Structure 1
């Protein structure tokens, strides 16, 4: 008996020593490769990039992982109890490893022949999640155990729990408990019920198997088991237990919903952040504040959408997107599930046609009504310039099975509509510093993410003429200078071609004042002015507005706006007119903050001096980037924009551009009832591009409309009919209740009465004399002074019909 006891004793000692030696050997073998636990104290969890409007409304979120880190003190006690009851109820007592859990896992392995559970504690899961892979092997498990022991020695239990709840994956791209609470319940973990906390606490074991969205039955079983464990362990009362058990499964999919519809702004901000920080932009939790106020962006969205729909409906109905007659209701719903709303235009299928209108099926399986009154515009589209006969009843427009688009109205009704094929872009800048205040790159980002505001180079037509006139005013011309609006012929000796430019009305007015020529948009005057100034000197002058020289054609067609420029470039150049002669550059990002709220960057763009007439200082380079990716932003003196045009020139040009609205091609804008607006229409050959650029001192806004593949907008469509209404809708909303604001009159401006016939200073007896603005050194002579011809700077060639070399 004694010998048997000695055998068992020495066997136990041998096994114990063997285990001790094995563990020691494993530690000595693995310890050199163990990562430092100190790294956990400064760990940086992946947090997505978030982009906000200037008034702190969410525009977009970018990143693979949805995560909102939470401090341990912010975690509700009930959630901690639910988590520990589900994952590690002995967490408070063990030192990183729970031998009983490991033995249970080993027993399952020996009995079944494969690994069922790992016997991991929360501390071991922290070690795996932060340092190790998900590989199932004994060496990885040994490393996990050793790391867990080290973690317990260097971190408190609260610190370990905080690391765990912020790292774990909980399904649907949610990492961490607060992100999961937002995804499944649309609110923070601090604001959900006990039953909902138990539901989230059940996810770490198997996020897909116990997901309340994918498997609500199994998720409820897991939730109820956790609640039972909490009750059994005395963590909740019986009343709390019974109330939580009775709560239904009410999880639904929530994603961070943008509060502002600004997809092109979001994409521009994302691209700039990636340019600055590379792939870290998506993971480092940057908070980007843009220069775009939410209300102005929404105003721009509405203006572009309404303007394009209005134009599109003027040209007729192109028919349904598809015809699906004979299908069942389920077949229709299957087809609708493939469709997406486009800028508020919802896809529906016609299920019945009667005299009152249409019955339609929407994507939710609901039947709705479309009234006949909203369909009367739908004359058949024949081509851009003609439509068929007006419909007399709904059946002339639609049939059962038609997939069409409807536009929901504020009162709950639906308007018959269609997705426009025409496109538009709107850019609105603060002319004082170049801040982008609103930007729309097309009808629908879902339809096409091509950003026409910054990518589409199109001919600006007559909206480019103010740059030619600005050059003239800076070279001796005045608004009273007379230029001959008469036929002119240009010969190209090399190509044996003849160019006979004409006005859009095919009329000629003879000698005409420069002011009148601008607001009447006379092409021949612009060409003669450019010819007198010289093409190359004028191009050199115009590049000061920020244009690239290679985009400006080196010939007289430049006077008609044949340059290829983006709406952003046009808006930037026009800002100089609006701000009194200073060059500004557009910028979008106002501020960048780190995950901890530290300010990493604050924009300091070169801006117009606050006081009229102040001299420009040294412009800061490229928006004054004053910080790197790790250091807080340092304060810097305001950068001052560089003056590129005489303030007197822009003041006079501003008054001429105001006449475009008062009595020229932009007269429709008088409906806004403002005295501080200036602008210019633009329409290219065959009406392929239509523009309106205009401003006051607060906002400079450019609108372009056209087709992506250039084609005519229609014989009766111009900048004043297509682009101007969009501009008016936006500027009317943007300037509502704002006082008039325009450039202050600089020193050196003289107002004189002028003879409208000769352009000279009028005498008291001169008939129809009017007041005109001049620079003090460019005042015209009196009509009584000797000499013939026009005012200075007003070339009138003797033989207007003589061919002139184009090049």
Structure 2
């Protein structure tokens, strides 16, 4: 049954219906990069284990015991994930239960005795959820990149392979930085497994990604997608897609339409002079923090500005707002009671470069692109 999302006054924002997008493909139609990326990040002993990886399970048990209030650490193999997805309903597979885990391990062992590894892997790549109602790698390739899975590049495959762990938190359309960080992990694991070289990993990470600009029939699209993701975190993708929920949100379409109008007018007025092409806005209700309007870009469907990316939820450069914090840290007394810097210290305005965790170099410049000594 269709789930409907409304604004605070009862106006319909989005209808979420069906079981999502799914197109089954054979393992031969899935590129080696996607297969290698999936195995590297999900189950590096897949072709050797008997359905469960005992060392990983023990490590996960120890980690969860030491930090019972933290986020649970998984130790499930690809076979276990398939069993969990097919056999258990949503409530049972999301519950932290040792009884369920034991059943899962036994069933995974039985599955490994009755199906070949390639059959299990093909099943996994056609069943697993990649977010945005895309089930299976073919649907994910179409949803995110508007292409068939067989045509995925190493950069695209490594990004997709990282999504099943947390499709909402790692959604590249709304949380690009988190998705890229996960992609870098996948690429490094692939390099560690010998599937690619470290140079290929760096090149894939640096490769620009072009996301699909799909036509969607929804109002306030960035907020509607954000609301759906929140619902999926609370109730699961299946319940949201088929549960017939009626969800009233804090959004007020009157403010939303005004925000869209003003943002587009501002970009049109300022853009030609200052090369401004996009804008984002979030309006909150004072006292409660309720979201009254959310604009992630001036045009959700415009691929030239990556319109589907919700800039309102993306990390931003703090600009000059960070300066008071920087000065405070520099001028604060250290262990010896003296500050690291004083107002009399001089810092040279010259080019500098810093190597980042992914091997790329960050070389900051001034606003005018020049250095003043």
Whole-Å separation in 2 of the counterparts to 1:219 and 1:238: 19
Deviation at 1:152, TM superposition (A): 0.3
Matched, 1:112 2:62: no
List gaps (5 residues or longer) in structure 1.
1-60, 259-281, 284-331, 339-347, 350-360, 369-807
Deviation at 1:240, TM superposition (A): 2.0
The residue aligned with 1:167 is 127
Deviation at 1:333, TM superposition (A): 9.3
The residue aligned with 2:54 is 99
Matched, 1:76 2:36: no
Against the structure 1 CA distance between its residues 251 and 337, is the aligned structure 2 distance closer, same or farther, given a 3 Å change threshold? farther
8 Å contact 2:33–2:153 — kept in the other structure?
Answer: no
Counting only pairs closer than 5 Å after superposition, residues 721-736 of structure 1 correspond to structure 2 as none
Against the structure 1 CA distance between its residues 63 and 366, is the aligned structure 2 distance closer, same or farther, given a 3 Å change threshold? farther
Matched, 1:176 2:136: yes
Whole-Å separation in 1 of the counterparts to 2:102 and 2:20: 29
Match of 1:128 among 84, 97, 102: 84
Whose helix proportion is higher, 1 or 2?
2
The residue aligned with 2:257 is 335
SS where residue 203 of structure 2 aligns?
Answer: helix
Deviation at 1:118, TM superposition (A): 3.1
Match of 2:205 among 245, 255, 258: 245
SS where residue 196 of structure 1 aligns?
Answer: helix
8 Å contact 2:129–2:164 — kept in the other structure?
Answer: yes
Matched, 1:366 2:268: yes
The residue aligned with 1:14 is none
8 Å contact 2:188–2:198 — kept in the other structure?
Answer: no
Q: Give the superposed CA RMSD.
A: 3.0
Deviation at 1:194, TM superposition (A): 0.6
Number of matched residues? Answer: 217
Q: Deviations over 1:486-543 (max 9, x none)?
A: xxxxxxxxxxxxxxxxxxxxxxxxxxxxxxxxxxxxxxxxxxxxxxxxxxxxxxxxxx
Q: Deviations over 1:172-213 (max 9, x none)?
A: 111111111111111122222211110000001111121111
Deviation at 1:257, TM superposition (A): 7.5
8 Å contact 1:336–1:362 — kept in the other structure?
Answer: no
Matched, 1:89 2:44: yes
State the 4+ residue runs in structure 1 displaced beyond 6 angstroms. none
Whole-Å separation in 2 of the counterparts to 1:243 and 1:109: 35
The residue aligned with 1:153 is 113
SS where residue 204 of structure 1 aligns?
Answer: helix
Against the structure 1 CA distance between its residues 363 and 158, is the aligned structure 2 distance closer, same or farther, given a 3 Å change threshold? farther
Whole-Å separation in 2 of the counterparts to 1:231 and 1:337: 46
The residue aligned with 1:640 is none
Whose strand proportion is higher, 1 or 2?
1
The residue aligned with 1:143 is 103
Against the structure 1 CA distance between its residues 158 and 254, is the aligned structure 2 distance closer, same or farther, given a 3 Å change threshold? farther
TM-score by length of 2: 0.53
Whole-Å separation in 1 of the counterparts to 2:158 and 2:191: 12
List gaps (5 residues or longer) in structure 2.
1-15, 218-240, 243-253, 271-373
Whole-Å separation in 2 of the counterparts to 1:364 and 1:77: 47
Matched, 1:229 2:189: yes
Whole-Å separation in 2 of the counterparts to 1:363 and 1:153: 63
Whole-Å separation in 2 of the counterparts to 1:364 and 1:157: 56
